[in-house]
Amino acid sequence: MPAIVVIGAQWGDEGKGKIVDHLAERAALVVRFQGGNNAGHTVMIGDTVLKLHQVPSGITRPNVAAVMGHGMVINPPALVEELEMLESHGVVTDNLHISANAHVVMPYHLALDALEEQRRGPLALGTTKRGIGPAYTDKVARRGLRMQDLVEVDRFRRRTAEALERVNLELTRIYGAEPMCADDIVEQYAPAARRLAPLVTDTSLLIHEALGRDENVLLEGAQATMLDIDVGTYPFVTSSSPSAGGACLGAGISPLHVREVIGVVKAYTSRVGSGPFPTELHDAVGDWIIERGHEYGTSTGRRRRCGWIDLVSLRYAARINGLTGIALTRLDILSGLNELKLCVRYRLPDGTETCEYPLDTNVLAQTEAVYESLPGFEEDISGARSFAELPENAQAYCQRVAELLGVPLALISVGAERNDLVALRWPM
C-alpha cells in the first residue's frame, strides 16, 4: 500500500514538478490533490519545457495514469487549453482521470478574486487571480458546482442560474460590477464540458484499486506548506491544504497508505505575493539570486521575492508534514556565491531567540533571521550525478541542511533538465 506524498516545504515553486516527474518513473498513478491553475509546475525534457498548471506532472510518462483528485478546483477551459498544449508537444493525454467531485472554477470566481484583491488595496494578498479563493469559499459554503454538474448540460445551466442569484448581488451591490448571465457561462464552458466529460469518474476508487495492486501512487502537492490555509502564514496563504495531511483528504485515501512524505526544498527561499518572509534579501545578493535563478512566476510571470534558506520555517514544515526525505532543488543556482547563509534561529521583537516557528502574525512580521554561514562553491555542478561528484562545500551545505532538519536527503537537483539530478535513494 505504498502512497508517496510529494509536497512543497516552503512558499511554492520549489521544483515539485521536476521531482514528481523523476519519481513518476516508478509510479503507476500520479495524483494532484488540491489547488487549481494557481500552480505552475515545470517539467523539462531535453529542450522541451512543459508548464503544467492543473494536469499532474506524471502525464509525461506514457505508463502513468494522471489523476485530478476531488480536492482540486478545476478551470475547465484552461484545462482543455493545457491538454492541447501537451498534445502539441506529443504528450499522450488519454490517461487522465478527473474526479466527479472536484469543484469547478466558474467565471464569477475569477471576477470575484480580482475585485476582492482590488478592494483590499494595499492589503492585497497578491493572489494569482485564478479564482481559487472564491471557488473554495463556495465549496466550504456548500454551494459550489462540481465536475459532475458541469458535464450534464441541463443540470449545469440550472445550478449556474441558481448560483448567480446570489453571486450577482455580490457582484453588483458589494463591488459595483456588472452582473453575469447563466447562458453566457454555459456557452463559454460547453466545449470544455464535452471534451472533459469522458474523463470524469470516481478517482478515489481508481487510486484505491491501484494501492490494492501494490502499485506506487504519487500524491503531488501544489503550492506549499507555508501557503496552507491551516498551517501557513495566514492570511497570506492559498485556500486549500497543500501539506501532507491534505493529500489523503484531497485524493480520498486513508493516511495508513502513506509510506513516505518527500518535502521539496529549494536551496534558498522564494515567495510570490504578500506576507512575512524573515530571510528575504533586499540587497545585491538577493537581486543576483533572482536574476541567476530567473525567479519569475511560472503562472503569472511575477518577480519572486528571494532570500536565504530558512531552517526555522523548514523545521516547522518537517514537523507538520512528518517529512521522511528531502528533495533539495536548485542547488546549482547558488554556485558563484562566496558565502552561503542558513537561517538557524529567529530573533523575536523582545530580543529573545527561538528555533520554533512563531504563530503570531505580528511577531512574525517583526522577526529577524539569525544566520550561520558556510563557505560557498564556484563550480558548475549541473553535471553531477552522485554526491561524491559535488564540490566539498556544496556537500557540506546539503549535509548541514539535512542535519538541521533532522530529515535525510533523498534527492538533490542540480539543473532544470529531467536528468540533472543526484538520486540518493528511491522512496519506493
**Cell matching residue 382:** 549541473
Query: Could you give the string, one character per residue 272-311, with x where binding to ligand GDP holds by CB under 6 A and - elsewhere?
Result: --------------------------x-------------
Shortest Å distance, C-beta 240 to Mg ion: 15
The DSSP letter of residue 123 is G
Shortest Å distance, C-beta 329 to ligand GDP: 4
Active-site hit among 21, 22, 41, 97: 41
Query: Could you give the string, one character per residue 18-57, with x where binding to ligand GDP holds by CB under 6 A and - elsewhere?
Result: x---------------------xxx-x-------------
d(CA 230, CA 235): 10
d(CA 293, CA 304): 10
Interface residue with ligand GDP among 1, 85, 396, 416 (CB under 6 A) is 416
d(CA 427, CA 79): 30
Shortest Å distance, C-beta 384 to ligand GDP: 11
The DSSP letter of residue 178 is P
Q: Does 37 bind ligand IMO (CB under 6 A)?
A: no
Query: How would you classify the pairing of strands 103-104 and 269-271?
Result: unpaired
d(CA 377, CA 388): 14
Interface residue with ligand IMO among 10, 34, 37, 38 (CB under 6 A) is 38
Residue 97 bears catalytic tag: no
Residue 41 bears catalytic tag: yes
d(CA 78, CA 90): 19
Q: Do the beta carbons of residue 218 and residue 23 sit within 8 Å? A: yes
Q: Does 394 bind ligand GDP (CB under 6 A)?
A: no
Q: Does 225 bind ligand IMO (CB under 6 A)?
A: no
d(CA 421, CA 149): 43
Q: Do the beta carbons of residue 226 and residue 307 sit within 8 Å? A: no
d(CA 330, CA 15): 8
Q: Does 128 bind ligand GDP (CB under 6 A)?
A: no
Site for ligand IMO in 77-106 (CB under 6 A): none
Q: Which stretch binds ligand GDP (CB under 6 A): 6-14, 278-286, 347-355, 368-376?
A: 6-14
DSSP string, 30-45: EEE-SB-TT--EEEEE
Q: Does 34 bind ligand IMO (CB under 6 A)?
A: no
Nearer to Mg ion, 13 or 220 (CB): 13
Q: Do the beta carbons of residue 220 and residue 6 sit within 8 Å? A: yes
Q: Which helix (H) or strand (E) holds 163?
A: helix 153-169
Query: Could you give the string, one character per residue 78-97, with x where binding to ligand GDP holds by CB under 6 A and - elsewhere?
Result: --------------------
State the residues that interact with ligand IMO by CB under 6 A.
Answer: 8, 12-13, 38-41, 125-128, 130, 132-133, 222-224, 227, 238-239, 272-273, 298
State the residues that interact with ligand GDP by CB under 6 A.
Answer: 8, 12-18, 40-42, 44, 298, 329-330, 332-333, 413-416
